[in-house]
Chain A
């Protein structure tokens, strides 16, 4: 479903032109849950950006749901993203819209029939436990609740994979546990989850696959033969 083949990514303006990713290869199967861990600048976010085709590799190939980074067209990127759910550390909600409007937004841009939008939004807000706050604006919600809205927005198009870039990075422990529990439930219902995180406790507390990066290279993948994880600074 997701395949990285010897992917190298160099940002032209990076200091010294060093590679953000170097010859990275891995696969993620349908319905799998995988953590991406590693220190800042290790290449976690670059992998996620390559997944939703916000960046293209300088070398190698990223394949996701039949699309290849080598020949995907701009129009197809939009189509691909409709099948992905993406959440960020900073939630990326529209401040001037309510929770339900933020979620509906993801359906509106896909030209979904208006008659179906209300029901879908209500269902997904219920799923993330925010049915009672559907008319609240982001500023009226806690960090954890805002991330739930972001998750609802990511889920409303029934994605086959949820891409989460440090989704608990701005949250306290309690909210972190809540969001992680939600991610587990989402995964249990069949959606693959790829989550970048600094939170090693979260990684250790679960049985999910862990891909560890350092200096743009995979230094540990729990799917391979067991290795001793590299200590993160």
Chain B
């Protein structure tokens, strides 16, 4: 394939410029990747907090256990519900002693009511859904009261939404900067070969023929830059874990692959725009 050969040869003909291009692409993607990792870890942390979202339906005294069991099975079938745990008075006391150790001496038997602790599925932990499920639980006659920390859940979701919007805006900004820097780098490579391009045109090369090696070269540079950026991101996360004792999550192989594909795509698009503009200008 002559275009591929030309693209690979171009690396060898201007090694310094090629290394510079790949490094620039790598650092641009690295900045974007680091931001992605921070966003990913914040999201994971919020998910862990969200897992604690729970609705507690307190059961009236002397409710027959069979009634509670039937209701528990019914509630478990709600589409939003992940799990229902029936907590007896004894278990509630044990839990209170465990969670509030310094007050354990003041707790007495049957001091706390029994409850049905309802956990919701991911995606159903927003304030509106929690409120809706809580209202349905209140409809059961044996339910005395329902608690779910309304204010806490609202705050958590506000934080989640802010993080989501800030992540998207900053992510787009980082991606935009990366595209601009990578585009400029590729434009430099195109300008460095403008003489070759003009000679190609003079001897009868079609625009497609001139374009192809640049597109391949741009994609290769994008992939190489992406690999380097992934490696640098991995090393940065390892360093964070080691020196700050901070437990982090890294990109899954699917996201890493998508990152590499984006690198290739940015390289390809940057080359297409740069060479297209150049061909129009000569």
B-binding residues in A (CB < 8 A)? 52, 74-75, 78-84, 86, 92, 94, 96, 105-106, 108-111, 153, 157
The answer to whether A157 touches B209, judged by C-beta atoms less than 8 angstroms apart, is no
Residues of B within 8 A of A108 (CB): 2
Task: Say whether B207 faces chain A, with CB atoms less than 8 Å apart.
Answer: yes
Whether the Cβ atoms of A78 and B206 lie closer than 8 Å is yes
B200 — which chain A residues lie within 8 A by C-beta? 105, 109
Give the residue name and chain of the A residue nearest to B282 (CB). A54
Q: Which residue of A lies closest to B203 (CB)?
A: A106
Those of B185-209 within 8 Å (CB) of chain A? 195-196, 198-207, 209
Neighbouring B residues of A52 by C-beta, 8 Å: 202
Q: How far is the CB of A140 from chain B (nearest CB, A)?
A: 17
**Cβ of B206: which chain A residues have Cβ within 8 Å of it?**
75, 78
Which residues of B, 173-232, contact A by the 8 Å Cβ criterion?
195-196, 198-207, 209
Question: Could you tell me the distance in whole angstroms from the C-beta of A196 to the nearest C-beta in chain B?
Answer: 16
Chain B contact patch, size range: 10 to 19
Q: Which residues of B approach A to under 8 Å, CB–CB?
A: 2, 13, 195-196, 198-207, 209
CB pair A81–B203 under 8 Å, yes or no, is yes
- Asked if residues B13 and A78 are in contact (CB atoms below 8 Å), the reply is no
Q: Do residues A92 and B199 form an inter-chain contact, with CB atoms below 8 A? A: yes
Question: Chain B's interface: helix, strand, loop or mixed, by majority?
Answer: helix
Distance between Cα atoms of A109 and B206 in the complex (Å): 8
Interchain nearest-CB distance for A155 vs B (Å): 11
Minimum distance in angstroms from B47 CB to a CB of chain A? 54
CB distance from B115 to the nearest CB of A (A): 77
13 contacting pairs across A/B (C-beta < 8 A): A78-B201, A78-B204, A78-B206, A80-B204, A82-B204, A86-B202, A92-B202, A96-B13, A105-B199, A105-B200, A109-B205, A110-B203, A110-B205
Residue from the set B196, B198, B202 with the largest chain A CB neighbour count within 10 Å = B202
Query: Nearest CB to that of A106 among chain B residues?
Result: B203
**Interchain nearest-CB distance for B1 vs A (Å):** 11
User: In the bound complex, what is the Cα–Cα distance between A81 and B198 (angstroms)?
Assistant: 13
A82 and chain B: residue at smallest CB distance: B204
Contact check: which of B13, B196, B202 meets A81 at CB < 8 Å?
A: B202
B204 touches A110 (CB 8 A): yes
| Contact A74:B13 (CB < 8 A) given known A52-B202, A108-B2 | no
Which residues of chain B are near A86, meaning CB under 8 Å?
Answer: 202-203
**Within 8 Å CB of B2, what residues of A?**
108, 111
Please measure, in the bound complex, the distance between the C-alpha atom of A108 and the C-alpha atom of B202, giving whole angstroms.
Answer: 13
Q: How far is the CA of A203 from the CA of B207 in the complex (A)?
A: 38
A139–B27 Cα distance when bound, in Å, is 37
Collect the chain B residues with CB atoms within 8 Å of residue A157's CB.
Answer: 203-204
| A172 nearest CB across to chain B (Å) | 25
